Amino acid sequence: MNTIFRKSMLSVAGLAFAGGVFAGPIAAHANPVDAKPTAAAVQTTAAKPQGAQSHIDLNGEQTANVKAIIAATKKAGLPERAAVISIATSLQESKLENLGHLGDANDHDSLGLFQQRPTSGWGTPEQITNPEYSTTAFLKGLRQVDGWQDMPLTDAAQTVQVSAYPDAYAQWEQQATDLVAQHWNS
């Protein structure tokens, strides 16, 4: 393997690991399920989704997870934009499937709708695979991002998730927006 390429890949992997180690605990120090809702500004104008958009057909489990994310967002007292960011993030991380341990295909010890890691302080495996808990943990991290309501979706998601693919969240914005519009009031 080319030495420069290998060093570059190791650098990216190191940054992704370090980001997960430091960012995961930010969202998980307090028990996010018991967090008190805070006031948030409602974004009245929807930004145009960035770049090419992806779409998948959802099965019953995925639709139930959409509804769980929306319910947790409402319970946290956050606006529809937070649900859009959460759903787009989950579409990227797990295709809205509540992932258990995937063996060799697993990214470290990532689990659940958001591929959160117990070793990074997101919670126990049981907590992380609970859609309400994992969404609430993600939303707690989102609340800590200054100006998240007005920034591009992919930037808000990336600040919480610290992914090795920071722009990947943008491709799910339209589907996430449509899902929130469809299920927010149902």
pLDDT given for residue 95 in this prediction:
97
Is the CB of residue 94 less than 8 Å from the CB of residue 68? no
For residue range 157-169, list pLDDT tens digits in order: 999 999 888 899 9
Confidence check: pLDDT of 186 > 70: yes
What's the one-letter identity of residue 94? S
Number of Cβ within a 10 Å radius of residue 103: 6
Mean pLDDT of the chain: 80
Nearest to 117 by CA among 37, 46, 36, 26: 26
For residue range 18-72, list pLDDT tens digits in order: 444 444 444 433 344 443 333 333 343 456 777 899 999 999 999 999 999 999 9
pLDDT given for residue 103 in this prediction:
55
- From CA 65, how far away is CA 60, in angstroms rounded? 9
Residue 2: band (very low, low, confident or very high) from pLDDT cuts 50, 70, 90: very low
108 or 49, which is more confident?
Answer: 49
| Residue 37 CA from chain centroid, whole number | 19
- Say which DSSP state 23 is in: H
Over the range 39-64, which residues count as b (16 or more CB within 10 Å of their CB) and which as e?
Answer: ebeeeeeeeebbeeeeeeebeeebee
- From CA 85, how far away is CA 179, in angstroms rounded? 11
Is the CB of residue 148 less than 8 Å from the CB of residue 85? yes
Beta bridge partners of 112: 99
What's the one-letter identity of residue 73? T
